[in-house]
A and B are shown apart, each in its own frame.
Chain A
């Protein structure tokens, strides 16, 4: 199912959280909703889920306005934990499944199956408050997935996870994506998730600043980073031959150079080797955070002509 937001706007008193935001999330593609803290990600997700009623705009599912009944088939994992501390783990999941309309027996069967999948099989009768933080986070994910939802919305699911847990979670999400579900998650750690998601929507100050396929976005700018390992204290004067090249990072034995599309990386590498020994080198596409900063620069220059610029710094 294609999930869309059209012209979404919402304010909390004087504070504008969403400022006419548009986005489209395709099924079968893991989509990351990225942006810094305060960009409006959580408000956007709460509006999509109907937790809050936006001041303006619509949420569409396959092109028609989403209904309360549609949302019964959605799964939502909020950023902060939302579990009953005294409820046993399996009961917690079964309760959520029943709220989504499953009968008692299938709710319990699904709860057990999901606890198995999440590695919590031996904890099914344990009270939630007795579980470790990581286990509670997995249980929270379980609460969002227990009814096998068509649309899965996860708010900062990777925050605070160790690398193993990040890998496990992304496997669980890819499985759902592979089954044709619509899956979107948010993150403010852009570089952590750049290898996890296929599609991204970057938002800032309540509006979309960049959206599309991650690999295409990263290669479309034409900019690359050349990473060079050099002898400690080696001279840098050879760089003057490349005025278009911008030094991103300069350490005693390492250089990171930003290369525009027209500069041949091999020519730069040759010049470096001519000046001294090169111990290591590599060519990187720009990271998501660099893309974001780039998009932001573009966005702010676009917006500078408009009277209300959209960058009033009010979204803290």
Chain B
């Protein structure tokens, strides 16, 4: 009839999950996460459709060669091109002025004129000009007596390769790192506060009193942390899974393949960070007498999380390989927030990632043991706010 260690933990975690799934706040948060995850996929596609469609107004008959040249450019540049015919130059000007066309091409002067809006409309006029110049150049080369193959060889001259120079190898990927940082920070704060509230509620309602008569404090602690952790992971999955599926199945977001790994790594870091912080939050939650005091009791842990996050989005984003960034990404308390951001810069050696993970997990195990003692002593003292000092292991042998 005896409850073994893990069956006790499983019962506590199961109850925590059942209550969480039934709670309105968890359902709303998860729905919001799911919406956010879907929005990451859907919104760029909607916005993107608007941005990549250009209209060219043209006076007179456009040569087929020019149209096919422009169409080829449109296909390569991933935008849609519409050519509309207008009767005269006045109508062409009006079309551009009124926004009906992005540019208007006329046959005035020796090489024609391109009317553009006073506010620049991106690269489209440049592309049209290049197409006109390229076509004229071809005509002249043919007129000079070159064979079509020779003309083609000349036109195929490659432009110089563009190499981005900067601290971050890939802007898109760094953006993913930034987003992972924000989500990790919010998710850890949320999960930590949930754990602390759950513990404080059990203590203040004296449920812990009943439970501690049949469970060891560690069973109760681990069960609660696992339950809340599973709920939090569920929320993160609601956010990440649709986004990942969208990124993989469509190219609307135009992210490098490495970004997918960065996001998955973010989930791994969330699990590690949760393991590390949840026990601390639980211990702090066990110190309060009223659930309303959870905010002030968890302040130390929140402060460390906020500090780590700020470090990640300022120091690490600006310079991922400065000594401060390296140190913060390896130090267990800040690693869960700093390392994912730093990793997305693409400049982190694999051994540092592995070391940071090992250090974090090792610190979690040590911290969990430490927190379990504070938790047990905190729960045993009710009726007032317990100071951290009086329950610190080694400070006093009373409990």
Contacts and interface: CB of A to CB of B under 8 A. Distances in A.
Nearest to B212: A51
Contacts of B390: 13
Given A12-B381, A68-B216, A82 B11 contact: no
A11 B209 contact: no
Nearest to A49: B213
A238 B214 CA distance: 63
A209 B206 CA distance: 29
Given A53-B399, A99-B214, A99-B215, A81 B2 contact: no
Interface residues of A, number: 36
A87 B1 contact: no
Nearest to B220: A99
B399 to A, nearest CB: 5
Interface stretch (A19-27, A72-80, A159-167, A304-312): A72-80
Contacts of B268: none
A80 B207 CA distance: 9
Contact of A80 (B3, B8, B206, B214): B206
Interface string B310-327: 000000000000000000
Given A100-B3, A101-B2, A102-B1, A86 B22 contact: yes
Given A83-B205, A95-B11, A71 B214 contact: yes
A52 B390 CA distance: 15
Contacts of B211: 82, 99
Interface string A25-51: 000000000000000000000100111
B397 to A, nearest CB: 8
Nearest to A102: B1
A71 to B, nearest CB: 7
A interface, over-half SS = loop
Contacts of A133: none
Contacts of B213: 49-51, 71, 74, 76
A46 B382 CA distance: 12
A174 interface: no
B385 to A, nearest CB: 13
A52 B1 contact: no
B10 to A, nearest CB: 10
B15 interface: yes
Contacts of A95: 11, 15
Contacts of B3: 72, 99-101
A100 B214 contact: yes
Contacts of B23: 86
A82 B215 CA distance: 14
Nearest to B381: A12
Given A68-B216, A71-B213, A82 B206 contact: yes
A82 B210 contact: yes
Interface string B1-24: 111000010010001000100110
22 contacts: A11-B398, A12-B381, A12-B398, A51-B213, A51-B380, A68-B216, A71-B214, A72-B214, A74-B213, A81-B205, A81-B206, A82-B207, A85-B205, A86-B22, A87-B19, A96-B210, A99-B8, A99-B11, A99-B211, A99-B214, A101-B2, A144-B210
Given A46-B380, A74-B214, A82-B207, 9 more contacts: A50-B212, A50-B213, A68-B216, A71-B213, A72-B1, A81-B206, A84-B19, A95-B15, A100-B214
The 7 closest A-B pairs by CB, nearest first: A82-B210, A82-B206, A101-B1, A76-B213, A49-B213, A80-B206, A78-B209
Interface of B: 1-3, 8, 11, 15, 19, 22-23, 205-216, 380-381, 390, 398-399
Interface of A: 11-13, 46, 49-53, 55, 68-69, 71-74, 76-78, 80-87, 95-96, 98-102, 143-144
